[in-house]
């Protein structure tokens, strides 16, 4: 892998001789690039507008403490997809970290997701699993699920008003900057309650964190003689220099590619407030949710707890407060809002994407390129499928590119 940074003097000659252009160096883009380079022997050029590899999964040591911080929010790797697990283990070993989350409400800390421990603690008495099920069913009977008209009513119909008021109302209002009674009921499909004491956050077969961190993992994916990475390069500043018909995988915002011709898609974004605190342990766990509505942030990450096996300082720690809001034009997009209006726009962009594949050999992928919320394992799995079913047949046999963005 070679990297060129801060260049602005590109010419058409800089983009000739490549079999594949990949726009964006997140997990989707790097998976496609790695497969094309190693499995097909193709020359791949990766263009990244940021100053670093890896998209939102990028991590770096905090200078004062050396504690590894995920710059764009906590990334927890988990999957039940055996193919994805075997694929990623080519590039990194994983720790045995299992994610557990706690939530603070009115000065008390509770285990999440909702489980028997939370129920017993919140209601102040011990319940058997059957007793807890009966209690929640009684409280949820206030509203029939089929009659729920909004997010608040739907949540109450599933878990009852007391648990909703404590653990969902304030948190949801902060996440969406909207009163939950004004959010659509369809935002919730279910609210699972565990009637046991299991507070492991994910139920996947495989879980862990990369032993040497995300950046080391991502760099290894790109470490091949057939892959060239150029950082600090905006695809839109130079796409006219790319030879016509060069197969391209685009993982940036879908609406941006088409110059917002069907309107801007809605996204939520995150803001982070990082602080070095003079203590060896600030909160005793990696993630603490703040469920009270009058606390402006949604959660605090304490990154030392992601890697307890490392020799971090005993007298300092790094915390990051996370704030959620609607994304403005120049913000980093994180989560698709996916309103009915967004879905209408997306349908128009889907049609444009099919045309772009047929006319210019451009495929769209990843979270931004498909307007889907994809966890890391989902992005990798999608990239493997797109490579197998679309890119490899095109690069080896000249098969037409299928421009659908559903893979």
Catalytic residue ranges: 190, 194, 268, 299, 322, 373, 375
The tokens for 150 are 């909004």
Site of tokens 């997809």: 81
287-322 residues labelled b (16+ CB within 10 A) or e (exposed): bbbbbeeebebbbbbbbbbbbeeeebeeebbbbbbb
Q: Give the residue among 149, 101, 60 at the shortest CA–CA distance from 298.
A: 101
In 3D space, the residue among 69, 176, 182, 159 whose CA is nearest the CA of residue 112 turns out to be: 159
Alpha helices in 170-325 (DSSP H): 170-176, 214-221, 235-238, 254-257
In DSSP notation, 126-166 reads: ---HHHHHHHHHHHHTTS-GGG--SHHHHHHHHH-HHHHII
The set of residues, in sequence order, having a beta carbon less than 8 Å from that of 25 and lying 6+ positions away, is: 46, 48, 53, 54, 55, 218, 222, 229
Distance, in Å, from the CA atom of 158 to the CA atom of 50, rounded to the nearest integer, reads 43
Q: Are 374 and 382 in contact (CB under 8 A)?
A: yes
- Rounded (5°) CA angle 201-284-108: 80
SS3 304: helix
Q: Going by C-beta distance under 8 Å and a sequence separation of 6 or more, which residues neighbour residue 83? A: 381, 384
Angle formed by the axes of helices 129-140 and 151-159, nearest 10°: 150
């Amino acid at each position: 892998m070679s990297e060129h940074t801060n260049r602005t003097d590109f010419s058409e000659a800089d983009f000739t001789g490549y079999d594949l252009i990949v726009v964006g160096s997140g997990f989707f883009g790097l998976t496609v690039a790695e497969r094309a380079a190693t499995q097909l022997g193709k020359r791949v050029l990766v263009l990244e507008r940021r100053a670093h590899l890896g998209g939102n999964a990028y991590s770096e040591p905090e200078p004062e403490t050396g504690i590894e911080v995920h710059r764009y929010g906590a990334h927890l790797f988990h999957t039940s997809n055996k193919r994805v697990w075997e694929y990623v283990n080519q590039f990194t070993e994983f720790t045995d970290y299992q994610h557990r989350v706690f939530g603070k409400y009115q000065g008390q800390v509770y285990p999440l997701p909702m489980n028997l421990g939370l129920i017993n603690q919140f209601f102040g008495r011990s319940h058997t699993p059957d007793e807890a099920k009966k209690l929640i069913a009684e409280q949820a009977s206030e509203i029939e699920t089929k009659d729920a008209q909004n997010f608040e009513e739907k949540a109450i119909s599933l878990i009852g008003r007391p648990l909703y008021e404590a653990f969902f109302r304030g948190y949801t209002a902060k996440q969406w900057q909207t009163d939950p009674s004004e959010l659509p009921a369809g935002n919730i499909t279910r609210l699972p309650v565990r009637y046991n004491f299991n507070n492991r956050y994910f139920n996947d077969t495989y879980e862990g964190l990369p032993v040497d961190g995300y950046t080391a993992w991502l760099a290894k994916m790109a470490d091949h003689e057939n892959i060239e990475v150029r950082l600090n390069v905006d695809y839109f500043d130079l796409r006219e220099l790319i030879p016509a018909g060069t197969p391209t995988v685009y993982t940036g915002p879908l609406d941006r590619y088409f110059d917002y011709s069907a309107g801007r898609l809605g996204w939520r974004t995150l803001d982070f407030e990082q602080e070095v605190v003079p203590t060896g342990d600030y909160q005793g766990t990696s993630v603490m949710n703040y469920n009270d509505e009058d606390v402006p942030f949604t959660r605090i990450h304490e990154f030392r707890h992601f890697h307890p096996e490392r020799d971090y300082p005993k007298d300092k720690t790094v915390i990051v407060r996370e704030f959620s809001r609607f994304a403005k034009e120049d913000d980093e997009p994180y989560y698709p809002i996916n309103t009915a209006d967004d879905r209408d726009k997306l349908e128009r962009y889907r049609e444009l994407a099919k045309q772009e594949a047929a006319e210019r050999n451009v495929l769209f992928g990843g979270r931004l390129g498909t307007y889907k919320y994809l966890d890391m394992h989902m992005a990798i799995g999608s990239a493997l499928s797109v490579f197998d079913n679309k890119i490899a047949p095109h690069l080896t046999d000249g098969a037409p590119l299928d421009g659908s963005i559903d893979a």
